[in-house]
Structure 1
Amino acid sequence: MRESADEESTSWSATRAWAEKELAPGERVQHVTRLRGGWSAQMRRLDVSGPDGARALVLRSFVKPFYVRYAPGLLNREADVLRLLAEGTGVPAADLVAVDAAAEHCDHPSLLMTLLPGRVRVDDAGTERRLTLLARQLTAIHAVRVTDATRPRAYQAWTAPDRVRVPAGTGRARLWRRAVDVIRREPPAYEPCFLHRDFHPGNVLFTGDGEDLRVGGVVDWVETSWGPADLDVAHCSTALALLHGVPTGMAFAEEYTRAGGKSADDADHLYWRLLDALAYAPDAEKLAVPWRELGRTDLTPEVLTARLEDYVGHLLDRFG
């Protein structure tokens, strides 16, 4: 097995041996490439050859202590979701090959799956077309039917009023206090549906260009939940506002509705939008790191802080 020159030195010999044992008879891993653009896990592409030809797989391994601690829940959840989505849902997700969520055989908790076509696109060019495709894809995800046995866990909020970190040095302290006050209430009633829960441009692969642009796959199903559609819309909207600017983030909910999705009334919708946006205060660095790896070096902490504050202000003006 050959590894690319930029492969990190983190030990994974046991993981490699486990992955090879999970291949079909006669298959061998010929080359390994580290994939960029992730935050929570190390991702590797495994190029495999065998009697029936060549194929490519993706190996997800949790190495950060926080994610290792929660890996059994996260990776087993993703494995269950991939099995569900393979049952004719029409959602372009990877096929599960194997999972070792507790690292019983691997150096780190790992999941092995098929490689989906396409690549992450975070450049500003072509944003309008991608926005439409993202909205259509999210409505399809929300339409996935589940049974009592396959229903994912209830959603978890990623912030709370007392946990919000207001950006330092801002001259708009009143705006931030007003935003925090919006989520200082019981969650609104909602009609639950199947949520990706981390749906944003970094987790969607695109193929083609121009009119031939298509969604090739949706990845990262470790946070899949059961909850309000507005929360998924909110999460993607926040990411779009930070990545491409506030107007794009504000436009996504309208695209989602145009694609057939349903939204709560303004007051409840604002709650979900701010519950998500405030989780990224003060500077959305968690999102920015993988985006910079993909070439968006313009997304400095200063730029993201300004965009987040602007976005919160626009939400309050539009829905408050």
Structure 2
Amino acid sequence: MRIQQLEYLEKIVALGSMNEAAKALYMTQPSLSSAIKELENEMNIQILVRSKTGVRLTEEGREFMSYAQQIMDQVQLLEEKYKDTRPRKQTFSVSAQHYAFVVHAFVELINSLDVEEYQFKLRETETENILEDLSRFKSELGILYLNSFNEKVMMKLFKERELVFQPLFRAKPHVFVSNTSPLGQKELVELADLEDYPYLSYEQGERNSFYFAEEILSTLEHRKDIKVSDRATIFNLMVGVNGYTISSGVLSKKLNDDKIIAVPLNVKDEMTIGYLKHKQKELSPIAQHYLQMLEDHIQGYGFEIL
């Protein structure tokens, strides 16, 4: 086994395509495929499953990849210490549902760095994509919520993909609205109060299951229903059409102006927001640092870390 083969595998897993990885590595696709096949034969396991839509890791491949990444990290440390070469860029990736506190902690992480080069990725994305990113090692952390409605289904999916969920904090549901909305003048909002206003929620792509919704009470019918794909749009619609969405109540004043406010929703439910990691991969120091900043930010809003 050669370090170069592990570098090839790392690139394939990151891109999810043998052809795209070959282009990035300036290799021919047959040469790259041959190098991986040689590695699989030597290790006596099947690491990748190849299909028309790309490649993915087998269960054995995921376990192998977790060990391979540890080797790559150690090689990087050796090169930085003993070789007169430029170190590899600091890398980190997190996939999350649409939460302002996730972005705020990400900003603080970057501003705290003392490195010349880095390659970070923040994906505010659909719930299914979070699970896919974690299972394919495209992200180290995934941020999402569980409640009494989706927990059983989601925990089953986590187990199937060898993902571990760690709770961060619990929050009562709030409605996010414009500060000029009549809903924003209330101290407590009832479900009946929402009927005349457009309901804003994040689309979930092809797998638009109620269990994948980012908003609780996802099975309720709404006379006015608008799906969006990003947080900027949902905030604009809160102001433009007096729309509302349901979330945790945590707003970042540093990243959002005072036009959007959170009002408690009177329902017997709560959200447990936490992070996902892959069972077979230890968190990197940069991921641990990000989690600490995330916890500090959450505590700053008066929530207790679980």
TM-score tier, shorter chain, comes to under 0.3
Greater relative CO, 1 or 2 (CA 8 Å, sep 6+): 2
Structure having the higher Rg = 2
TM-score (norm 2): 0.26
The structure that is strand-richer by fraction is 2
TM-score (norm 1): 0.25
